A and B are shown apart, each in its own frame.
Chain A
Amino acid sequence: MGKIKQRFLFLILIFSLGLVNCLPSNSIGATLFLDPGNSGFKNKKIYDNWEFLGLIGDYISLPDGDYNLIFNIPRSYKLYTKISIKGDEVKVIEHKSRPEYGVTTYKVDWPKPLAKRHAKLKGVVSLTFSPVKFGRKTGVSPMISACMAGCTKRKVILRVSSKPEDAEIWIDDEKQKFTTNTTLSLPYCTYEKTKRLVLRIPQRVNYIYDIKLSPNKKIEVICELKKPSE
């Protein structure tokens, strides 16, 4: 009876710490290899609706659903690729390029990214990006002004452990100086609700987690970064 009580208390303790385990769940639809091909986009930061996912050249696991992959390219342009994942089927629904605000615009030719099964790695789908060709100048995109906002800082305490150790820690899209395993004080502005945590080791599947922000909350992330074919 005493042992059961101890285990029950241990479970309560784990949940109160906000322990997060990143072992793969059933909701994962596909493991994507973001293949730079000959595009020259290797190691560019890539986002899903501006939520950081990793770098081009990484492996990422995503649950079923639609995703709007975005990354920046030279000449102040962004490339958008809308994909749909269902099981291990990946379809490219839409792709387009867009200039940033207040920059010179060009006629842009960007072939549709290609989604196909990885030749060597079982269960992995390659999304191969093609290079962009810039044509003649077409004008200037409209300008908008950025606004500045003050910010009151709060923190969460984030314990990050990974297997293997020494994984890069990315918070939102910024690479931290620290690697796993470590305990971080993570500041945030009070208006922010979540922050995106990405753990990354090249040639392994990125771990992606949205940290729910609450003052002085202790969060423990324990994660195994697997090889794409595992």
Chain B
Amino acid sequence: MTAPRDSDRLIRAFLAEGQTDLPDRVYDEVRSDIEHTGQRTVFGPWRNSFVNRFVAVAAVAAVVVLAVVIGLQLGAGGPLVGGPGPSASASAPASVEPSAEPSTEPSVEPSVEPSTGVEPPFTCDLPITLVAAGSDFHPLITQDIRVGTHDGYDRIVFEYGGGTPFLELDLARPPYIQDPSGLPQTVAGSPVYRITLTGATKYDTETGAQPYQGPTNFEPGYAQIVQFVEFGDFEATHNWYLGVNGGDCLRAFTLLDPHRLVIDIQH
């Protein structure tokens, strides 16, 4: 029998073997790629300086004041300044599945989004990836999941406390396999995309809490989102499949306060 210490030594020796040089052509390809790849604009980190904290507090205060003003106007029955707001342009169709009702409130999401044009352009190049941010390398607990429809796009929002996970969004081909059961499942719509969120989970294993208890299968009947369904929440990897209606270009980006990961599907 091989003693554990011997086997550890053999494993180390085994892993020590192999290539350790990255060929020059890869550096050249990276260099060529970044020549026409911009860097994502990141707002924050807010916690690192007094000035940034002040700016964050001021921004939150501005949003609160705006919300109060809009609320007063709505309460008085008067029209919104500047025409119909996001909530007016994003009414959910009557055919929303009952299971999706608690989280298909489209008027919630746009009212807290910046309208400063920070959203990236839509792209049809897949996969789309977003690096994890601000998580301090601990799994992020899902606080909320919402879908909504807007003028020109449908939107999916994952909300987290403390950061956003690594995202990979790619075209999926059947069979669509549930994780970790390994069972194939169907997804309505075509094409179908796989959304992998690495470093995120609904369950807080330290406290046993599960802040998000809403639906894990959305069939809202929007122009693009046909079905958006959870396929796995296992070992801090949260998998979803998204079936759409014909499909167009997509975009993914993050928002702060609270931390949100946003996926838009263009109409």
Q: Do A and B come from one complex?
A: no
* Chain A residues near B (Cβ < 8 Å): none
* Chain B residues near A (Cβ < 8 Å): none
